[in-house]
Structure formats: structure tokens, C-alpha cells
Amino acid sequence: MPTKRDRDKVSNAVIRRLPRYYRRLDELHRGGVERISSNALAKSMNLTASQIRQDLSYFGGFGQQGYGYHVETLRDKVAEILGMTSGHKAVVLGCGNLGRALLLNFHFAQYGVQLAAAFDTNPELVGTSIGAVPVLDVAMTEEYIRENGIDIAVLTVPQQAAEAVARMVIGAGVKGIWNFTNMELNIQTPGITVEDVHFADSLLALSYLISDQ
């Protein structure tokens, strides 16, 4: 397992492939496949065998010459690399449609993230549960994050609240913000990671790709 220093050398391109490796390996495992070569894995993912071996080698040697990789073992290694076994804890900020959709349909636990609570300003929602997750008053957010060691904030608040809520949860101690607000958060705090899910960027890329073809 690499140390902090090693991790810094891993390029973004590699990081973005890791979840795909996990996904594919999990599928293969569930499909009963026990072992696979970098070549076969590459073909099934539209990558090259070199790339896969290169990528994995940042984190260790998980294969065996003449055999390839044991699918389940490699999947578990990748899960560990991805922090799926680190016991991350998340809260959802904002229970509008998107927040609800995530609370009801997205299986955080499947990715090693414990979804502890949701927060909203609406007094009619506070005190209820959405998909077994309690909805608390937004005024409690800071205290809750601090006391429960929450490290991920899922930001599904309205745009005008985004920046302020982001600063608040950072102050309370989260390490990462999963940002669904479609806003560029102006966060430069060292040690804080913002992962943007920009629906609009994705749709516009699609729009570009289907235009003038």
C-alpha cells in the first residue's frame, strides 16, 4: 500500500480509472470469473493491457506471472485503494428532489460510505426520515458533523446557499464535498477536496458530440 507521498504521484487520469476497475472487477466476480489477465481485462474495458499493469503498479504488484490476477482479490485491493474500507461517513445537505433522489436511490453503503443524516431548512421535513435516514435541522449541521466525525458532505442545496454551506461544513471538519449544485465553489482550503458533479457540463459535452456529425 502506498504512503501519502506515493499517492501524490498518481495522476488524475489513473484516479478516474480506479472506480471503473472496481466496477468491472466486481461484475466479473459476480459473474463467477475467478482469474483474468491484464489483456482480457483491457479488452473488456477498452483499455490496453500495458495501461492496466502500469496503473496497478502505482499501488503494488497484485498479479502473478503466467496466471494474471485473481479477480476477487484484486477487486478488494482496488476497493481498499479507493478508500471504500476507510469507514467514510457522509451527510446530505438539502433534501430537495436531488437530495431525495440520492437518499432514496443511491446506495452509499455499497461504496463503503455510511450515510448518517440529512439536513434541511424546511420545518415540515425536519424530524422525518427519507429512506431510513433522519432529516435534521440545518442549524444542527456543524455540531452533528463535529460530534459524529463526518468526513463527506453531499451538497444538494440551492445555488444561492451553496458557498455558505460549503464553508460551514469545512469549518465543521469535513474532508470532502460532493458538489451537485452546478456551481464552481471557490474553495482553496488545503486538505479539502471538492468533487463536482456538473450535470450541465456533461449535457453540453453530449450536445457538442451529437452536433454537426
What is the rounded CA–CA span in Å between residue 35 and residue 85?
Answer: 23
Q: Which of 33, 111, 142, 161 binds a second copy (CB under 8 A)?
A: 111
Helix, strand or coil for residue 146? helix
What is the rounded CA–CA span in Å between residue 134 and residue 108?
Answer: 15
- Given the complex with a second copy, which of 66 and 122 has the nearer CB atom? 122
Q: Does 213 bind DNA (CB under 7 A)?
A: no
- Smallest gap from Cβ 154 to a second copy, in A, equals 9
What is the rounded CA–CA span in Å between residue 122 and residue 92?
Answer: 14
What is the rounded CA–CA span in Å between residue 176 and residue 173?
Answer: 9
Residues touching a second copy, count (CB under 8 A)? 57
Q: Does 201 bind a second copy (CB under 8 A)?
A: yes
Q: Does 4 bind a second copy (CB under 8 A)?
A: yes
> Scanning residues 27 to 46, which ones bind DNA (CB under 7 A)?
37-39
59 alpha carbon, distance to own chain's centre: 19
- Given the complex with a second copy, which of 22 and 69 has the nearer CB atom? 22
Q: Does 149 bind a second copy (CB under 8 A)?
A: no
Q: Does 198 bind a second copy (CB under 8 A)?
A: yes
Q: How many CB atoms lie within 10 A of CB 17?
A: 16
**Amino acid identity for residue 133 in this structure:** V
Q: Which of 9, 65, 105, 123 binds a second copy (CB under 8 A)?
A: 105
What is the rounded CA–CA span in Å between residue 181 and residue 86?
Answer: 26
- Given the complex with a second copy, which of 30 and 64 has the nearer CB atom? 30
Beta bridge partners of 176: 152, 193
> Scanning residues 7 to 26, which ones bind DNA (CB under 7 A)?
11-14
> What are the residues binding DNA (CB under 7 A)?
11-14, 37-39, 47-51, 53-54, 56-57, 61-69
